Amino acid sequence: MKISQYLDATYLKTASQANLTEEENKQNVIDLIQEAILYDYKLIMIRAKYIPLAKEMLQEANKSILIGTVIGFHEGTYTTQEKLEEAQEAINLGADELDFVVNYEAFKRGELQLVTNEITKGIALALDNNKVIKWIIEVAALTNKEIIVISRLIKNIVFTDFGEENAENVFVKSSTGFLKQKTICLTEQR
């Protein structure tokens, strides 16, 4: 078994987040793409603006590595329309996979119609364009019960609105990596 076919190479920081110049940040993306080519990874996860660069490098290397990008990253609070426009742009650039950050803040406030609408429209756009979609739920911001509820919500939308046959193209991811993971103490305090 070749483990690299299950791995992805990810770099999603903006230059300001990485405290780098735009050119230095772009070099990080180039290095990441070269690593993915060298080790024959399954997927490169990058910001949408770098998709054309990745496609060019992959074509030159004659590699068929998938390219994914993030939508509504990292806060998830973009409007549904903004997320759909961002996703369509990524699709137009050639993204194979879309990782949407669910509006977990709206979910926590009980705005289930907004979240249901966002998830339904995002899945429809991805599936209509033969793309894999992953919903980042940001577990560090949610209680265990909320994690279960939002995961079930996504599952129910897929099965009810898109059919079980499309479930293999819709995933739930745990985190953007921007929020600190909560720690759970399993020992009793004395």
Hey, what amino acid is at 111? E
Q: What's the CA gap between 189 and 180, in Å, rounded?
A: 23
Each residue's pLDDT tens digit in the chain (190 positions)?
Answer: 889 989 999 999 999 999 999 999 999 999 999 999 999 999 999 999 999 999 999 999 999 999 999 999 999 999 999 999 999 999 999 999 999 999 999 999 999 999 999 999 999 999 999 999 999 999 999 999 999 999 999 999 999 999 999 999 999 999 998 887 655 444 444 3
Q: Are 127 and 166 in contact (CB under 8 A)?
A: yes
Q: What is the pTM of this model?
A: 0.91
Q: What's the CA gap between 139 and 104, in Å, rounded?
A: 9
